[in-house]
Structures are given as C-alpha cells and as structure tokens.
Structure 1
C-alpha cells in the first residue's frame, strides 16, 4: 500500500474516531516549500461534514496520525492545511527497495491482459517524411513505449498509404518527365526522388490550368479538365483494375520509397512490429461495406454511392464508397481495423496517432465500427496532435516547401556540433565519438522539444532554441546524466553497502530528491492513461532540477563520513537510472560523457 493510501485510510479513521463522521475522500497536495512537511492534508473540504475551527480539526487529525502511523514523525497546521512530516526511515526503506531495480518504474505485462496496437507514421508513398511526420513518429513511438512500461502488451504498427490519386500523380510525372531516372542514377534517396515528381506534377498541372483559363475556362473548370489530372485519374482506374504495366511501375516506385523510409526511421530511432498497406486493406473494407448494406448500417444513394447516416449521433452522412465503386479513406480504415484484429486476436484496443485535422474522420470511423457490431470498437483512441510550425511559416508538400525529416535530423546534429565546440568540453574524444555524440545530443534535443509539449497543442519549433544546455531542454537533462556518470567514475570506493535509517540523517535536499524519485511509477501510469509523453518529459526535468539543487548544496564525494558518502553516490546513481528509464520511453539516448 502506498504512503498516500495509508494516510488516506488513517485520516478517515481519525475523523471517524474524533468527530464521529465518515468522509468519502481526503484531499492531498504537496507541502509548500516555506512550510515544514512532506505531504499536506487539505482540511477545508471536511468542513462540509465537521463543524469547527479548521486549525483545531487539523491539530486533532495530526495528533492521531503521529500516534497511529509509524511513518508520521511530526505535523504543523497552517490555516486549513495539515502539513505532515514523514520519517527518514520511510524514505530510506523506499530507497532500499528501488536502488537495485534497473527497471524502476516499469511494470511487467500480465499474460492474460489484452494487447494495445499503436499506429503511427502512416505516410503516403509519394513523398519523403517531413517535420509533421517527425512529431507523429515521436509521439506514437513514445506512447507505445509508455504503455509498455505501464504494464501493457503493445504492438507498434503503421498503415502505408500506397494507393490513390496522389500516388498516381508522382507515377505519371515520372513517366512523362523522368527519362528513366532512378535512385541509383540520381544519387537521391528513393523517397526524395519520388517526392520530386509529386512536386513536378503540381508545377505542370498549374501551367495547364493557366493555359485553360487563358482559353476561356473558369478556374474551377480548368482544375477539373486539365489533361494531366485526367491522365492521373485514368491511371488510378487502371491500377484498381490490375493493369500490368501500371502495377509494375507502382511496385517499382513504391519500392524506392520504402528503402528511403527505412533509412529515415533508423536515423530517427523508431521501429514497427508490423506493417499494413492500404492497397491490401481497402478491399476488405469494401467487403464490409457490402455487409453493412445488407444489415442496414449503410444505404445506397441513387447514383450508386454508399453512405452511413450518422445524424442520430449528431453528425452528418458519411460516404464509404464512391458511385464508381472505388474506395475512400474511410473504406480503407474500416478494412485495416478489422484486418488487425484478425491478425492479432489478443488486441483489445488501438491508438491512432494522427493530426487533429482528422478528428472528425476518427469520430466517424469509431462509430461506424461500433455500428458494424465490433466489441473492441469501444477501445479505440485517436491520439490527436497539433501541427508543427517553423519560424518561416507553414509547409506545403505539393509546392516542395516542406522541411525534410532527414535534413532536419542532420541540421540538429550540426547545431549540436557548433554549440559543443563553442563550449569546448570534448577534449580527448575521437572524431567518431564526437560525431556519435552530436547525433545523440541533436536528436535528443529535437525529441525532447517536441515531446515536452502536450500533444494537443500546436508547436512552433525552433532548432536553435531546442539545443540549449540550460533550461527545460533535452541537452540539459543529458548533461546532468553525464555529470552523474562522472561522479560515479570518480567514486573509487565500494558504495554497494545497504544502509539503514539509523545510519543516515537525511538532508532536506536528499529528502526532496527521494520524494521526486518516488513519483516516477505514478507518472508512468498517468502518462499511459493520458497518452501524454509530456508528463514524462516534464517529470524528468523536475527530477534533474532537484538533483542539481542537491549537487550544489550537498557535497557528494566530500561528505563528512563514509556512510553519507556511500548514500549520496547511491542516490546519484538511482537518479541517473531514473533519467535513463524516463528518456528511454521518450526514445532519447543518454551519453555517458559530454
């Protein structure tokens, strides 16, 4: 039982014994720094049940706790707040229980629990990954790791959007303007090469629109009648009917893109357990559209298109299949969800990491899957996140103004190199060691800057600002971890001794650090429940601030006696271990030296 649970039960007993009143809940908060105490019981909510002076009520409960709870050594009451002081023995016992646990804070999954499938990345195969994909990947990967750490079995997956008109646009542009260019002949990563032709299509398409408008067409007419668009639409129809030449080109160009994606994912430090392809799952979606028509979940309009009426749910009507029988995104997503449960029967829920511009789409998808009778549909969650902006403004894929993921990762490493060289702290490093460290710092800065923000909020990303060795940044936390490793290297004595409360009198800075460490398992569980890596990131920053305050106020290797020295080194080591564990679920590495 946790200390807070023990205190809650004993406060209820105190109220019952002293005032003959039962209360349902007890409100706690952290004790304010200007008062003595470790945890505060808020008396004011009890005044609904107990008549009297809050000060006297607090005194009565405080005396009861000192008498009945071994861990409570003293108390004070300030107005309506009962500040409870916890014994050093409690914190030393807590520390003894965690100091040899390298997986402190993590829970082992139970074999009988249902698994969760987390989807992220889910790119289109007509362009390389960009800054928006970076936030998506970092969020999805981190949420999967946090859920795993909280005790859930997790599968990481993505749906690759490898079909549709946008894919045909790249294919058609390459066919018309590519002159047989390949990644090998051009020296470009495959995803970048294909992305260039997506941009090329848009450029040529706009020229055709201008020509048609000059010839008397309205802009709307010109957009629909431009020959390039009509050819792309024809290519899509050929692909869906299995035309051999079109399918061969599609496989070739998608293959180039997959090779490029794989390289980016490796550089980003994310991975997947399984992959799904829209070209496979949309057909299963069409099967269930047919089933839904029979059961009355869907209805057919006069033109042959199929719809779902969601007006009773406060929404509108949603198309699930076009009049010409071709699939829409909703068709594909229905099929993908169903296929995943077929493939992994132990999955009981799914998390979709997709930007907030798709909020309505997922609201509709989840309702449709419930209407189709799938029990697991009640455990679907849309991890909706805000866009990432740059100081230079909004990105547009068609116009080629996106920030390429690979370029940004390289830029982060270069910025880390500039700043590290200025600080001059890398004496004795080989060039390879420096290069690896710059990447660790740069990627850590990027990931932390993005993950420390609540997923729902929009981000203005400034690469320079993210690589700062002071403040709430990844490099600041990495530097603290490296500082602790330096302390451990200097500790040229055996610090493995088990210490008891009688051997150590805790300094206030040591106790503050222990209290922060004690929060970690709860933070993991809260972050999993809220699907929010920001809780882990900001907890880690608070832990690092507590450690640095401890480091500045308490001598570690120069402690007054051997037991104090041993304890402070052990405490530092546990802080480093917790930083490493916290950063691992954020997908961030910690360097041994900086």
Structure 2
C-alpha cells in the first residue's frame, strides 16, 4: 500500500474510532493489508481489534467504519464487509495519480539518507582452499542485504574478514614445500586458490598415510594423530610464522597472493564487492587488552592454570574460555578485539555478521560478553544466521568429492543456461559476444535468484536445472518478463507522456497496486535482513505483468490514450523489476 493513502487511512480510522465510539486507538492496533483476490476492493482493514471499543459485532463495526471513511476520504468509492474485514475500493483516479506522481518518479524505491551507518560482514574465506557452495550463499546474502540497506537510506560498509593464518594455512604451505616441485598458478594453469587448495588435500592424504603407519606400529588413533611427522612440522611452521621467520613469512605471502588473485576472479564472476578487508593475521592478537579490561572490572575470572573465563550460566549458557593459560588467544578473544577495531574505525550504528547457523552459539556468547563489558554499541550487533545449501546427489561434480567448488558451480550454471536458452531459440539475431553475455546473465541470475528467494534462516535444496526454468518461480522467468516489456516499448518507440484513460481494468489496477507496494516491501526486507522479501515480490510482479500482457492489448489498443497509458505502465513495471533484481545482484537483459 502506498504511503500517502496508508497515512490517510490510519489517521481517518483513528478519528473514526474517537468520533463513533469515544475511544483512543493507536496506530499499532490497526492492521491494513491488500484485499484477497476473491473479494471486491484493494485494501482491507482488520476490524476485530476495534470491536472492544465499539461493543458491537465485527460486521456492524466494519459497516460503521466503512461509512465514516467513505465520507472522509474522497479516494474511497465503495466498501464491502466480509465478517470482521472491511474491504475498501479506491477510485481509478487514485491509482492513475499513484502511477503518474509516485511510481514514475525517478526516486521511487530509493529512500533519502537516514544518517545511520551499517557494516555488513560477509564472505570470510580461508586462504587454504577455494570458495565453495556455502560461500556462494553467504556472499550473495551479504551483498544483497547491503544493497537493500543502501536503498533504505543507510550508509553501508561491506566488510570481509579473511582467515589468512593458522594451522590450516600452514598445512597447504608445508605440502606445497614438500610435494609441489615449484608448481605455480602460471606453470600449472590452475587458479591460485585451486592450486593452494590442491595442496591442502595433498597434506590431508599424506597425513592419513602417516597416521595409518603409526597405528600399524602400535600407536592409538589419538597418539598417531598427534605424533605424525607432518602435523608436527605444520605446528612448527605455525610457531615460526608467529615468530616472524623470514622464509616462512615469504612463502606465506607468496601463496596467499595466489589465493587472493583466485578469489578476486571468483568474486568478479559472482558480482560481489567489498569496501573494507580485515585480515586475521592483523587481528589475531587483538582482544587481549579487552580481556584485561574485563578482568579489571570483574567480568572475567582466572582459573588456577591462569586461563581466563566468563561465567554465563545465569544466562542459560555455560562457562566460556576467553584466553588460554599460556596467554594465547582463542577465537572469541580475536573476535572481541576485531569487533572493537571495527567500531573504532567506522562508528557504525549496526554491525551485521553473515555467518552460517553452525556459529549461532558463538555469536550469542560474543554479543553477550560485549554487552557485559559495557560496550554501548553491542546492542547494534546482529548475527544473520543462514541455513546450509544441499544439492540433489549426483547433480554436481566436485574436485574433492565432497565440497562443491564455487567456480565449478558457476561454470555449470552458465553451461546449463546456454543449453536451455538455445533449446528455446532465444538467441536469434545475437552475435557471439551478446550470446556469451546473455548466458552469463541468465546462468548467474538463475543461481542467485534460487538461493535468495528462500528465507535466509531456512536450509535449501539447490537444483541447477530447476533454477533455469523459464516458466517457473525462477530468475530467468523474471528476466524474460523484463526483456518482453523492453521489446514492447522498443516496438512502440519512445512515449513519455503521462496520460489518463477513462477507467482501469482489474489487471491494470492490480499491477499499479503491486508497483505501489515496492517501498513497503523494501522497508520490510531491510528490517528483516531478508532478500527473500524482494525476490518473492518481484516474482509476483512479473506474474501480474504477464497476466496483464495476455489479457489486455497494448500496441493494438484501439484508443490511443489507452495504448499510451499501458506503455507507461509497462515502462514503470520494467523499472521496478530492474531495481528489484539489482538489489539481488541480478542483471536483467534488454532482449532475449
């Protein structure tokens, strides 16, 4: 519901309750919603909460209110009552002015700056392997949430905390040193992240061999894991790295540079970007000052072995280690320090961590500790917890046999898009370069839409073939609708005139009403950090346009005024489809 009429309805309903029933009602007690398709009207007031003031039946209360509102608001032409629901019909003149004055405005769907800054942290890869399917959902979610917040007037900082140190990084480095024979991305033809990931797998294979040998020699599984020469060498390498050993640091920098070049290509293909990179190698020692601060003011306590803990049993959690007895950090130490660093640097009002739901407990603890430490900004911290992505078995190949590589997934999507698009004959008249661009747009649009249309909290099953269906609840269906509108507009030639037909058809009215809802959906998507709100909205909009397109003649409309109005409505729909898809990181084609 457009804001202008919503405010009028709310205000007049508050006045109606006061005038008719001598009672005060608050805005929060009023519920307006779009009228269900099977009933007359466009906007429905839920009357049940008002009956406690009227002391009348829901039907009689609705009739009283309908009569009052119709007298007060000139845009209301009629109303009907269904049980406790007041269905309101608005005049065609209202819908036409909504299209001409609000929806056609260049700034429609773009709120002014609200003076608030938000950081969205996403991606957070490890530099010992390429990005995988889980990272794809993470990156697409983070990027889309950031874009939605921007459109709602927030100043957004997109951050990426790169896990570039630790034992897992040393495993890849050591395996490359021992078995790599000087192999580089250039000599192997492999992307840098894939090359480093290859040696992480090599390490694992060789380590398992050593464990088996030690077990045959009489060691227990646990002893073998701890005593295998490879793991001891990796631990020694980590100690050297922490001590600043020149040779180790030099190798670490070289191999990480390969990985960053690989990541950069993957991010580019995925269409995501970042304003700020944090590196664990810079932040892993942070947090120790915060631990001391917490000890000084009694938030933390020390055990006999000198380790530092916090007791969260009163909050229904447990005791949590925040610093080891030997003075070394654990993850939470580092996260406390990084949170402080981010706030000191950007002074943001909110900070959103896009991290899978397996880390729910960690973030609960992190935020609680920061609040106990008296960090006023801790109230603005939010964990955007998302579910796993599953694939139908056998649908995707993966290099390591278990994890689906992001690059493999994206290239398979492009191939699927190419096959499907050619089957449907949607590339006629396109040169090779345009075809490649189209396959990329459709393949990536299919992948992104399928992953974003589901509520972030839910686990989802991703089916590559289903996602590229031009008729289903998919990205390509919406992209095709946009191309269809552009084709209609192109055949008609430019027409910028604002026109008003005598009356509207139900299809025209439904389309304008749905377009008018865009700012409301945009605000809801920001409030819930949910791109699914936008994804499902734009699908409904595309479906309504197709219904309108099939039921109403546009270019062959007999009355010039009607034709021009329908072209104007088509142009507004294309604009909102493009805006919505853009918020999901999806491009829309001009032709298909």
- TM-score in terms of structure 1 length: 0.96
1:374 Cα deviation from its structure 2 partner: 1.8
- Over residues 165-211 of structure 1, what are the superposed CA-to-partner deviations in whole Å (9 max), with x where a residue is unaligned? 11111111111111111111111111000001111111111111111
CA distance in 2 between counterparts of 1:324 and 1:229 reads 21
2:386 paired residue number: 385
Deviation, 1:336, is 1.4
State the match for 1:507 in structure 2. Answer: 505
Is 1:29 matched with 2:29?
A: no
In the alignment, what sits opposite 2:488?
Answer: 487
In the other structure, the counterpart of 1:475 is: 476
Partner residue in 1 for 2:90: 86
Match among 232, 243, 246 for residue 245 of structure 2? 243
Does 2:53 correspond to 1:56? Answer: no
SS in 1 for 2:128: coil
The equivalent of 1:187 in structure 2 is: 189
Query: 1:540 aligned to 538, 541, 549, which one?
Result: 538
Residues 467 and 473, structure 1, Cα contact 8 Å, conserved in 2: yes
Q: Which residue of 2 aligns with 1:361?
A: 362
- 1:145 aligns with one of 144, 147, 163: 147
CA deviations on 1:92-113 (whole Å, 9 max, x unpaired) are: 1111123543342111213xx2
Q: Which runs of 5+ in 2 are unaligned?
A: none
Change in CA separation of 1:240 and 1:299 when aligned onto 2, cut-off 3 Å: farther
Pick from 164, 175, 178: which aligns with 1:176?
178
Partner of 1:441: 442
**Counterpart position of 1:96:** 100
Query: What is the total number of aligned residue pairs between the two structures?
Result: 588
Cα separation, 2, equivalents of 1:446 and 1:395: 13
Secondary structure of the residue that 1:515 maps to in structure 2? helix
Residue 320 (structure 1) aligned with residue 318 (structure 2): no
Is the CA contact 2:398–2:404 (under 8 Å) kept in the aligned structure 1? no
Q: How far has the Cα of 1:507 moved from its partner?
A: 1.0
Compared with structure 1, are the counterparts of its residues 397 and 316 closer, same or farther at alpha carbon in structure 2 (3 Å cutoff)? farther
Q: CA deviation at 1:393?
A: 8.0
**Equivalent residues of 1:391, 1:461 under 8 A apart:** yes
Change (3 A) 1:396 1:544: closer
Using the TM superposition, name which of 269-278 and 225-234 deviates more: 225-234
Deviation, structure 1 residue 251: 0.9
> In 2, Cα distance between the equivalents of 1:159 and 1:239?
20
SS at match of 1:49: helix
Shift of 1:417: 0.5
Query: SS of 1:116's equivalent?
Result: strand
CA distance in 1, matches of 2:294, 2:229: 37
Q: Distance in 2 between matches of 1:367 and 1:53?
A: 48
Instruction: Report the Cα offset of residue 307 of structure 1.
Output: 2.1
Q: Which shows bigger deviation, 482-491 or 560-569?
A: 560-569
3-state SS, counterpart of residue 587 of structure 1: coil
SS of the counterpart of 2:326? coil
Residue 584 in 1 paired to residue 582 in 2?
yes
Report the more deviating stretch, 3-12 or 473-482.
3-12
Q: TM-score, normalised by structure 2?
A: 0.96
Contact 1:102 1:577 (8 Å CA) reproduced: no
In the TM superposition, residue 396 of structure 1 has moved relative to its aligned partner by 13
Q: Distance in 2 between matches of 1:565 and 1:552?
A: 14
The CA distance in 2 between the partners of 1:592 and 1:63, in whole Å, is: 48
- Where does residue 516 of structure 1 map in the other structure? 514
Shift of 1:397: 10
291 and 514 in structure 1: CA distance in 2 versus 1, 3 angstrom threshold: same
Deviates more, 1:364-373 or 1:562-571: 364-373
- Range 259-268 or range 335-344, more displaced: 335-344
Map 1:373-452 to 2 at 5 A: 373-392=374-393, 401-452=402-453
Alignment RMSD:
1.9
Q: Among residues 305, 308, 326, which one is paired with 2:307 in the alignment?
A: 305
Q: How far has the Cα of 1:394 moved from its partner?
A: 12
Relative to 1, partners in 2 of residues 1:48 and 1:203: Cα closer, same or farther, differing over 3 Å?
Answer: same
Distance 1:33 1:138 in 2: 33
2:125 aligned partner: 123
- Structure 1 residues 395, 295: closer, same or farther in 2, change over 3 A? farther
Q: 2:550 aligns with which of 530, 549, 552?
A: 552
Q: After the TM superposition, which parts of structure 1 deviate over 4 Å for at least 4 consecutive aligned residues?
A: 393-400
Are the counterparts in 1 of residues 397 and 404 from structure 2 also a CA contact under 8 Å?
no
Deviation digits for residues 522-572 of structure 1 (CA, Å, limit 9, x no counterpart): 111110010000000000001111111111111111112111111100100
By how many angstroms is 1:32 displaced? 2.3
Distance in 2, Cα, partners of 1:53 & 1:263: 65
Partners in 2 of 1:44 and 1:525 — Cα distance? 26
Query: Which runs of 5 or more residues in structure 1 are unaligned?
Result: none
User: Separation in 2 of the partners of 1:285 and 1:45?
Assistant: 51
Name the SS of the counterpart of 2:93 in structure 1. Answer: helix
Take 2:575 and 2:196, find their aligned partners in 1: how far apart are those partners?
44
